Chains A and B, each alone.
Chain A
């Protein structure tokens, strides 16, 4: 069984401030982990993925995430928020075996305040 918990359905940050979006996962086998971003009226877009090659993963638009097995976390960060980062962010987990079951979190809406 696998699951994902995103802490905070809404997060507000000031432009230029650190962005931190939290994700904790549960998986009975080594997981693959993903962050997706959804801009208004668009589909989800892959931001970055953890595939066990490196614990610190860099993605598009200056985002990165760190896999911490001991904390079962995969938090998303960006050093300096831009107005264009305002969107909804989804964390997802996939099992390394089986038929590609993917479980999404409930999403976190990021608001960037000028």
Chain B
């Protein structure tokens, strides 16, 4: 069964370091998302990506964040200079059509020290 894969599963980094989280969405999907979940809190939307550009972003997604789909298969989230409050589980998700079912990856746990 097709699935969304994310790497790494867990990353520990020092405050101020750059982090790249990688996702491989399901191959025929067109809509891509990053969500995050701070420990003990609800899942929050970060950004959506369609047709090779950002279609929507939340107030959390500031200039420290960027997304890319560099090669038609990977979908990456970059955090330029991590802060303690960026510690969270980051989920990638993809969807074939605008009204379709959403498929999530297993998540990448980011710990910023």
Please say whether chains A and B are actual partners in one complex: no
Which positions in B face A, CB cutoff 8 Å?
none
